[in-house]
Amino acid sequence: MSLVDAAREVREMAYVPYSKFKVGAAVRAASGTVYRGCNVENVAYPEGTCAEAGAIAAMVAAGETQLVEVAVIADSPDPVPPCGGCRQKLAEFGAGDVPVTLATTGGGRLETTIADLLPGRFDASHMRNAT
């Protein structure tokens, strides 16, 4: 199963009673294992949590901390980019050259990288002088 197909499958599990906007994400860890996440809304936080964050949380919960590929899919006219918080999370767990596929349920695709999504990213190298 492709990473986009894994994201497409988990997208159907999204809990979106307010926005009705389902998003699925899948990340491939360095081990080759695929972790999936979908967006989740609730009454206290109706904008919900992001699919990418869910996939990364599943990866970390399994003891992995390096991703090597990302896919995100939504039913949208154009591919939907990750929010700013998710871009930073992707940058935390993936190198700048990690491929990111943004897809639509209608077949649209945008191929990019973590570095292109978050130029000038903040990472651990910025804290080398911290004592």
Is 23 annotated in a binding site? The answer is no
Is 129 annotated in a binding site? The answer is no
Is 86 annotated in a binding site? The answer is yes
Could you list the active site residues? 52
Is 50 annotated in a binding site? The answer is yes
Name the burial class of residue 125, with classes exposed (0-12), middle (13-18) and buried (19+) by CB atoms within 10 angstroms of its CB: exposed
Is 44 annotated in a binding site? The answer is yes
Is 72 annotated in a binding site? The answer is no
For residue 40, list its beta bridge partners.
15, 49
Residues comprising the binding site for substrate?
A: 39-45
Residues comprising the binding site?
A: 39-45, 50, 83, 86
Residues comprising the binding site for Zn(2+)?
A: 50, 83, 86
